[in-house]
């Protein structure tokens, strides 16, 4: 065990699953840890060196930490805060009946910490490990701490959000080998202190705003839930078709370029093209024919449609009639207009009375053939009147510019648009966000 001298003393408030593991693991790293809980049973077990929850490897860590004197427990939050440098809040945030999140335990513990800070001399850092919705820390907890302590965050004490990424059954291993370490912060002193708690721990590290840290845990868990449902729905369809689902998924999982990767996981515009919409429709139709319920797959296109409407509503809300569009194909580098969300957006804008002018360096009416030409003839029969090869003409025309292309010539044209032109970026182009004057730039989902 590492010597505890010079390491920050830690109080852990809430000795349930996350709290017990955090307390034992930090003690094993040499920190003096004081655990706090109102449950006398948990306190009694820990005082005797027995883990209050069943978890691989936790029992040994608790026994060693208590025997070494590095882990002690109390029912007094005040005593624990006064006797430590950092307080980790690890209380539960259960669901309410309507699906919302209860912050009752968070607020109760925060009130106790605030009262303790009122009588404590010197700097103290409060770290929230509990899972909470973005805005909870800044909107609820920090004001409560300031009110009850009579002190100010960033001046008299620090606050960080440090979500945990522990899986039941492997949580001790996950603590020492986490997928990442995330610290939401408001000032550098506390951020550095909390990051120092994980010195030597592998994995990427992120110093982010409080809300980003709060959101990180929800993104992870919702994506994990989505993956479980996706795999199970594919399995159900495979079974109905007489296919071995695990053999199918072995093929799927082998692709780490697109399937198991960062591909398609950056917010942008809606998908389109000749493959994705068609294949989602075909597979969900097959599921219906075999009486297989696939609610996740069945709502993919509805979700895509909602995102397209988001872009449309953003433009219309500006109250501008003249719209310039850069990009028309379903993605850059192609002239494929089949089921392009940009074609759909243009059609709807025109239907709402907007005066639309479009540039796409890859789209020329003379080259359109086959189903590509048939699709555009059906959706935008007057495309010849809408298209221009001159980017500057589009930039000068639009009171609003919708950007779905990021070649140098297009970005330059957008940046040289008349003063007051509003730019809606559908691709998340950092350059536009940085160079355009305040109020000119709009991101679709960022």
On the question of pLDDT at 312 being above 70, the answer is: yes
What is the 3-class SS of 331-391, one letter each residue?
CCCCCCCCCCHHHHHHHHHHHCCCEEEEECCCCCHHHCCHHHHHHHHHHCCCHHHHECCCH
Round to whole Å and give the CA distance between 331 and 30. Answer: 54
Residues contacting 384, CB < 8 A, separation 6+: 365
Helix (H) or strand (E) holding 19: helix 17-28
Give which of 249, 276, 282 is closest to 264, Cα–Cα.
276
State the chain's mean pLDDT as an integer.
94
Domain 303-443: give its CATH code: 3.40.50.720
Give which of 320, 337, 208 is closest to 274, Cα–Cα.
337
What's the pLDDT band for 375 if we cut at 50, 70, 90? low
Give which of 142, 145, 30 is closest to 77, Cα–Cα.
145
Specify the 3-state DSSP secondary structure of 152: coil
Lookup: tokens for 114: 């605030």
Q: How would you class 343 by CB atoms within 10 Å of its CB: exposed for 0-12, middle for 13-18, buried for 19 or more?
A: buried
Whether 421 and 440 have beta carbons less than 8 Å apart is answered as yes
How many residues comprise the chain?
A: 446
Residue 275 bears catalytic tag: yes
- Contacts of residues 365-373 at CB distance under 8 Å and 24 or more positions apart, as own/partner, are 367/335, 368/335, 368/337, 371/274, 371/338, 372/335, 372/336, 372/337, 372/338
Whether 81 and 11 have beta carbons less than 8 Å apart is answered as yes
pLDDT of residue 330: 87
pLDDT of residue 1: 44
Domain 10-209: give its CATH code: 3.40.50.720
Whether 135 and 143 have beta carbons less than 8 Å apart is answered as no
Give the CA distances from residue 314 to residues 233, 294, 402, in Å, rounded to whole numbers and listed in that order. Answer: 34, 31, 10
Average pLDDT of span 253-267: 97
Percent of the residues in the chain that have a pLDDT greater than 70, as a whole number:
96
99-109 pLDDT, tens digit each: 999 999 999 99
So where are the chain's domains? 10-209, 303-443
Whether 191 and 185 have beta carbons less than 8 Å apart is answered as yes
Give which of 167, 172, 162 is closest to 126, Cα–Cα.
162
Helix (H) or strand (E) holding 252: helix 245-253
Give which of 31, 37, 44 is closest to 16, Cα–Cα.
37
170-217 pLDDT, tens digit each: 999 999 999 999 999 999 999 999 999 999 999 999 999 999 999 999
| Least confident interval from 171-185, 218-232, 313-327, 384-398 | 384-398
pLDDT of residue 9: 98
pLDDT of residue 380: 75
What's the pLDDT band for 439 if we cut at 50, 70, 90? confident
Q: List, in sequence order, every residue forming a beta bridge with 126; answer none if it has no partner.
A: 87, 159
Helix (H) or strand (E) holding 160: strand 158-161
Helix (H) or strand (E) holding 61: helix 58-68
What's the pLDDT band for 3 if we cut at 50, 70, 90? very low
What's the pLDDT band for 332 if we cut at 50, 70, 90? confident
Average pLDDT of span 425-434: 95
Q: Do domains 10-209 and 303-443 have the same CATH topology?
A: yes
Q: List, in sequence order, every residue forming a beta bridge with 87; answer none if it has no partner.
A: 11, 126
DSSP-derived pairing of the beta strands 71-74 and 355-359: unpaired
Whether 330 and 341 have beta carbons less than 8 Å apart is answered as yes
Sheet containing 125-128, strands listed edge to edge, beginning at the edge strand earlier in sequence: 71-74, 33-36, 10-13, 86-89, 125-128, 158-161, 181-185, 205-208
Average pLDDT of span 369-398: 82
On the question of pLDDT at 97 being above 80, the answer is: yes
Distance of CA 323 to the CA centre of its chain: 31
On the question of pLDDT at 4 being above 70, the answer is: no
Catalytic residue (choose from 137, 160, 222, 275): 275
For residue 87, the 8-state DSSP code is E
Percent of the residues in the chain that have a pLDDT greater than 90, as a whole number:
89
Whether 237 and 286 have beta carbons less than 8 Å apart is answered as yes
């Amino acid at each position: 065990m590492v010597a505890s001298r010079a390491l920050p003393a830690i109080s852990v408030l809430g000795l349930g699953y996350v709290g017990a593991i955090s307390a034992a693991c930090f003690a094993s790293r040499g920190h003096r840890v004081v655990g706090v809980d109102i449950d006398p049973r948990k306190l009694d077990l820990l005082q005797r060196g027995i883990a209050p929850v069943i978890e691989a490897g936790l029992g040994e860590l608790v026994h060693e930490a208590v025997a070494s004197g590095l882990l002690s427990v109390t029912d007094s939050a005040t005593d624990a805060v006064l006797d430590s440098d950092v307080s980790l809040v690890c209380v539960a945030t259960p669901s309410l009946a309507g699906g919302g999140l209860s912050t009752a335990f968070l607020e109760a513990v925060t009130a106790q910490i605030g009262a303790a800070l009122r009588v404590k001399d010197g700097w103290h850092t409060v770290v929230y490990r509990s899972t909470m919705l973005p805005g909870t820390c800044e909107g609820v907890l920090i004001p409560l701490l300031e009110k009850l302590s009579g002190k100010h965050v960033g001046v008299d004490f620090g606050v960080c959000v440090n979500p945990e990424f522990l899986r039941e059954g492997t949580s001790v291993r996950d603590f020492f080998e986490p997928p990442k370490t995330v610290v939401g912060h408001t000032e550098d002193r506390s951020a550095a202190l909390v990051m120092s708690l994980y010195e030597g721990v592998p994995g990427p590290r992120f110093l982010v705003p409080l809300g980003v840290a709060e959101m990180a845990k929800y993104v992870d868990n919702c994506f994990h839930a989505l993956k479980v449902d996706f795999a199970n729905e594919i399995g159900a369809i495979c079974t109905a078709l007489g296919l071995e689902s695990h053999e199918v998924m072995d093929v799927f999982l082998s692709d780490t370029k697109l399937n198991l990767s960062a591909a398609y996981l950056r917010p942008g515009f809606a998908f389109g093209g000749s493959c994705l919409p068609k294949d989602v429709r075909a597979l969900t139709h097959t599921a219906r024919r075999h009486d297989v319920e696939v609610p996740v797959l069945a709502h993919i296109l509805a979700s895509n449609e909602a995102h397209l409407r988001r872009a449309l509503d953003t433009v219309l809300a500006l109250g501008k009639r003249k719209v310039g569009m850069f990009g028309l194909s379903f993605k850059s580098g192609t002239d494929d207009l089949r089921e392009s969300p940009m074609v759909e957006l243009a059609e709807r804008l025109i239907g709402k009375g907007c005066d639309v002018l479009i540039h796409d360096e890859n789209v020329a009416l003379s080259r359109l053939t086959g189903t590509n030409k048939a699709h555009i003839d059906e959706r935008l029969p007057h495309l010849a009147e809408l298209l221009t090869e001159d980017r500057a003409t589009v930039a000068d025309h639009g009171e609003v510019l919708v950007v779905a292309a990021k070649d140098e010539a297009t970005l330059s044209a957008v940046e040289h648009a008349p003063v007051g032109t509003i730019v809606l970026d559908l691709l998340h182009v950092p350059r536009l966000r940085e160079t355009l004057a305040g109020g000119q730039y709009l991101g679709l989902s960022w």
